[in-house]
Amino acid sequence: MMYLSAANHRIPLSDGNSIPIIGLGTFSEPALTKKGDCAASVKIAIDIGYRHFDGAHLYQNENEVGDAISEKIAEGKVKREDIFYCGKLWATNHVPEMVLPALERTLKSLKLDYVDLYIIEVPMAFKPGNEVYPKDENGKWLYHKSDLCATWEALEACKDAGLVKSLGVSNFNRRQLELILNKPGLKYKPVSNQVECHPYFTQPKLLKFCRQHDIVVVAYSPLGTSRNPLWVNISSPPLLNDALLNSLGKKYRKTAAQVALRFNIQRGVVVIPKSFKPERIKENFQIFDFSLTEEEMKSIEALNTNIRFVEMLMWCDHPEYPFHDEY
C-alpha cells in the first residue's frame, strides 16, 4: 500500500483521476436530522482535513453539503479542486433521458459546475418519475425494466459534457459489473464500486474481481450501520463491540472504529464513515498515524461472517436484485 497521510491520502483511479481514501458519508434519516446539521458537519470535516464527501440527491441534503463547501472555498480554506464529491443516480432516474437532468439537479443543489464522481446508486430500476419510492395502491413496489448499459451510455455523455470527472457504480455484483465492462463500444470503464464492506463483511471475492479490473472498492457502512430494523439486519452483533478490534485498539491506543477503518484503507479500500458528531468525525480521520501488521490484517479478515447489515430485502424480487449471486 502506498504511503498515506492526513495531508496526502489520494489513491489513483483508472481514468487518471484520484480519490481520497477517506470521505465523510452524509446520509442521515431526513426525519431524524436537524436542518443545518449536515452543513455544520461538512465544515468541521474540512477543517479536520477531510476532502472527500459522499452524498446523494436521495439524502435531501445536497444543498447543505454545497453551502458548506462554498463557504470553505470563500474562506480560502480549500480550493474546488481539493474537494472530491461523489453524487448518486437514484433508481427512478435510470431511463437514459432522465440521467442528465438528475445530475443537473444535483449540481444545482450543490452550486457546483461538476462533481468528481457520479455513480449508479443501485442496479435496480424503479418506475421512472419524481416519486423516489414508488408503490402501487396495495403497497407493492413498482419496478421498471433495467437497461444498465443504456443508463451507462447516458452517464458517459455527462462525462463528455464536463459535468462529472469520473463514473462509477454502487451495489453491483460481478455479473452486473461485467455487463458494463463487456459492453460493445464502452467509452469509460466504471472506476469504482461502492458496496458494504467492513471486518464482518470483508468482500474477498468481489474485492479480488474489482482489483483485476482496476475498479476501486468504496466501503459504505465501514463501521457497521445504525441499528434501524427497518433497513438493517440486526441479527449480527454490533461490529464495534468486537473483542479483537477492541484489543488491537488498546495495543495502538486507538478505538475499535479506528482499527476497522485502518483495516480497509490498508487494503486499498476507500472508507466513507458517516457521522454528524464532531468528536467522531475527528476520531474517524485519525487513522494515518499507525498501521496494522500483516498478521493483524489476517486476523481481522478472519472475522468475516459473510453476513450483510444492509440486505435491501424489500427489493429481493427485483430482477436486478444484486445479492442473490455469491458476489
Looking at the DSSP assignment, which residues form a beta bridge with residue 222? 224
- Per the rule left: phi > 0, alpha: psi between -120 and 50, beta: everything else, 273 is beta
What string of DSSP letters covers 68-132? HHHHHHHHTS--GGG-EEEEEE-GGG-SHHHHHHHHHHHHHHHT-S-EEEEEES-S--B-SSS-S
**Distance, C-alpha 112 to centroid of its chain:** 20
The answer as to whether 1 is a domain residue is: no
Question: What pLDDT does 29 receive?
Answer: 85
Quick check: pTM over 0.95?
A: yes
144 is in an annotated binding site: yes
Is 3 a domain residue? no
* Contact yes or no for 142/127 (Cβ under 8 A): yes
Domain boundaries, position 177? 10-315
Determine the pLDDT at residue 2.
65
Structural domain includes residue 5: no
Provide the number of structural domains found in the chain: 1
Residue 323 lies inside a defined structural domain of this protein: no
Residue 138 — left, alpha, or beta (φ > 0 → left; ψ -120 to 50 → alpha)? alpha
188 a catalytic residue: no
CB atoms within 10 A of CB 138: 5
Distance (Å, whole) CA 1 – CA 174:
24
Cell for 55?
Answer: 452524498
Residue 2 is assigned to a structural domain of this protein: no
Distance CA 115, CA 89 (A): 12
For residue 177, the domain's CATH number is: 3.20.20.100
CA-CA distance, 173 to 326, in Å (whole number)? 8
Residue 277 corresponds to which cell in the numbers above? Answer: 458528531
Catalytic residue among 59, 85, 188, 200: 59
Residue 270 in domain: yes
Is residue 327 assigned to a domain?
A: no
pLDDT along the chain (327 residues), means of 10: 88 98 93 92 98 96 98 98 98 98 98 98 96 96 96 98 98 98 98 98 98 98 81 84 98 98 98 96 98 98 94 96 97
Residue 210 lies in a domain: yes
Q: Tell me if 45 sits within 8 A of 279, measured CB to CB.
A: no
The whole-number pLDDT of residue 230 equals 74
pLDDT at 228: 74
